């Protein structure tokens, strides 16, 4: 099988990820931070080291590892951010490339009269004009939530421009880094990002069920789950100190050990090499697709690869995306993802609703010798041969 669905989750992972998880399960899978015996202290220390590493990776100006909070993924992180930072009556500005992990909590909280929100548009290439965000800001706007790169078109947004306009208005900027962490330079200090929500199982190469938040110095969310922390257990009140305020219950230690191995593998590669190789594959793939009559690389044009991560969406004439996906799988053993990719509003902007697109997304273990087969398969499907 040729796996081209790394925007859903990266696969395969570096072998060191499975090895680290197996080693942890066999030798030290005790509850981290809940007991004072050596093994528990050692397990907690590994997780704390990952907090430090991720704070550094995201350029968090708050030099405090306890401001890296672990969750089950970007969805939980974004729910926690929106629910934990907004008080009743607050307003949020999101934008049309947003994933349902942003749109659905916003919708649900509005339904409960907890907040209101507005959506800035994107253009036909998935780009959001920061001025459109600025126009939607009201006196009660508390947060702007920006998707760093679309999981449909791969389009990167101008984070620094949005960061500046948020800072001028004393609004918090939340960046959804699900598609960029691990491959795109993220610098919260430089770009004035207050919260970076990340997933561990895509570009950071960890297992599913990992992710979290990196909180800059201005963001103080309230918790949205409450429970055991292993500290101050005599008090009914959830401890205010981070990470306890936001992390109740036993952490996914085995997943985090795997995530640490993924992050370590990335750090061992030549700086920028993984991102460059993925981007080159995506550009060459898109260029080849543009030569196939009837195929459109939605939201991408020749030469704009630098403005994208390694995600390419296709429309294949009038063949429904879902059918293309089935043929790719059954006849060609190619794994791609079809449909709306949990991001309905960008498809409206692209004119690809309701059927969506066929999405190819490349990871560190895709190779350029896979491209001819991908092009051959798409050509045959479009021709109906």
Ligand X SMILES: Cc1ncc(COP(=O)(O)O)c(C=O)c1O
> Closer to ligand X at the Cβ: 44 or 260?
260
Question: Please, what is the minimum distance in Å from the beta carbon of residue 335 to ligand X?
Answer: 15
Question: Please, what is the minimum distance in Å from the beta carbon of residue 6 to ligand X?
Answer: 11
> Closer to ligand X at the Cβ: 207 or 223?
207
- Calpha distance 15→17 (Å, rounded): 5
Can you spell out the DSSP letters for 154-218?
-BBP-HHHHHHHHHHTT-EEEEE-TTTTTTS---HHHHT-SEEEEESSSTT---TT-EEEEE-TT
Question: Please, what is the minimum distance in Å from the beta carbon of residue 19 to ligand X?
Answer: 23
Residue numbers at the binding site for ligand X (CB under 6 A): 73-75, 99, 101, 147, 151, 176, 178-179, 199, 211
Can you spell out the DSSP letters for 224-254?
SS----SSSTT-SSPP-STTTTT--S---HH
Question: Could you report how far apart the first and last alpha carbons of the chain are, in Å?
Answer: 21
> Closer to ligand X at the Cβ: 8 or 30?
8
> Closer to ligand X at the Cβ: 332 or 362?
362
Long-range contacts of 296-303 (CB under 8 A, 24+ apart): 298/152, 298/153, 298/350, 298/352, 298/357, 299/124, 299/125, 299/126, 299/150, 299/152, 299/153, 299/154, 299/155, 299/350, 300/125, 300/153, 300/154, 301/125
CB 347 within 8 A of CB 358: no
Q: Which residue, chain included where needed, has tokens 């009660």?
A: 140
- Calpha distance 289→79 (Å, rounded): 37
Tokens at 191, concatenated: 């770009």
Question: Please, what is the minimum distance in Å from the beta carbon of residue 23 to ligand X?
Answer: 24
Tokens at 226, concatenated: 């409450």
> Closer to ligand X at the Cβ: 99 or 279?
99
Burial class (CB in 10 A: 0-12, 13-18, 19+), 228: middle
Question: Please, what is the minimum distance in Å from the beta carbon of residue 234 to ligand X?
Answer: 34
Question: Please, what is the minimum distance in Å from the beta carbon of residue 158 to ligand X?
Answer: 17
> Closer to ligand X at the Cβ: 9 or 238?
9
Question: Please, what is the minimum distance in Å from the beta carbon of residue 66 to ligand X?
Answer: 22
Rounded to the nearest angstrom, the gap between the alpha carbon of residue 61 and the centroid of all alpha carbons in its chain is: 21
Using Cβ positions, the residue closest to ligand X within the complex turns out to be: 73
> Closer to ligand X at the Cβ: 68 or 147?
147
Within a 10 A sphere around the Cβ of 256, how many other Cβ atoms? 25
Question: Please, what is the minimum distance in Å from the beta carbon of residue 180 to ligand X?
Answer: 9
> Closer to ligand X at the Cβ: 81 or 101?
101
CB 66 within 8 A of CB 241: yes
> Closer to ligand X at the Cβ: 341 or 375?
341
Question: Please, what is the minimum distance in Å from the beta carbon of residue 233 to ligand X?
Answer: 30
CB 217 within 8 A of CB 62: yes
């Amino acid at each position: 099988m040729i796996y081209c669905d790394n925007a859903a989750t990266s696969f395969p992972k570096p072998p060191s990820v499975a090895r680290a998880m197996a080693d942890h399960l066999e030798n030290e899978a005790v509850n981290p931070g809940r007991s004072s015996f050596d093994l528990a202290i050692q397990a907690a220390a590994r997780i704390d080291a990952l907090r430090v590493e991720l704070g550094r990776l995201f350029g968090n100006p708050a030099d405090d590892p306890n401001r890296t909070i672990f969750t089950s993924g970007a969805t939980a992180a974004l729910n926690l951010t929106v629910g934990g930072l907004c008080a009743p009556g607050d307003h949020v500005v999101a934008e049309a490339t947003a994933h349902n992990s942003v749109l659905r909590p916003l919708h649900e909280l509005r339904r409960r009269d907890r907040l209101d929100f507005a959506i800035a548009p994107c253009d036909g290439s998935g780009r959001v004009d920061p001025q459109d965000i600025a126009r939607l800001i009201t006196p009660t706007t508390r947060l702007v939530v920006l998707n760093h790169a679309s999981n449909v078109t791969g389009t990167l947004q101008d984070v620094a421009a949005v960061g500046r306009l948020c800072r001028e208005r004393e609004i918090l900027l939340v960046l959804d880094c699900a598609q960029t962490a691990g491959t795109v330079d993220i610098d919260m200090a430089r770009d004035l990002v207050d919260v970076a929500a990340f997933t561990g199982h895509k570009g950071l190469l960890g297992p599913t069920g990992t992710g979290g938040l990196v909180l800059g110095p201005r963001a103080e969310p309230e918790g949205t789950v409450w429970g055991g922390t292993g500290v101050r257990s005599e008090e009914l009140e959830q401890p205010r100190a981070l990470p306890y305020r936001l992390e109740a219950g036993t952490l996914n230690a085995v997943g985090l050990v795997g995530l640490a191995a993924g992050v370590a593998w990335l750090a061992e590669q030549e700086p920028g090499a993984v991102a460059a190789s993925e981007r080159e594959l995506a550009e060459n793939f898109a260029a080849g697709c543009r030569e196939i009559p009837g195929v459109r690389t939605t939201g991408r044009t020749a030469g704009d690869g630098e403005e994208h991560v390694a995600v390419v969406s296709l429309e294949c004439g009038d063949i429904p995306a879902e059918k293309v996906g089935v043929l790719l799988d059954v006849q060609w053993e190619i794994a791609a993802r079809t449909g709306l990719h949990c991001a309905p509003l960008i498809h409206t902007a692209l004119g690809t609703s309701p059927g969506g697109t066929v999405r190819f997304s490349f990871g560190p273990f895709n190779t350029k010798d896979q491209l001819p087969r991908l092009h051959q398969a798409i050509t045959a499907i479009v021709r109906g041969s």
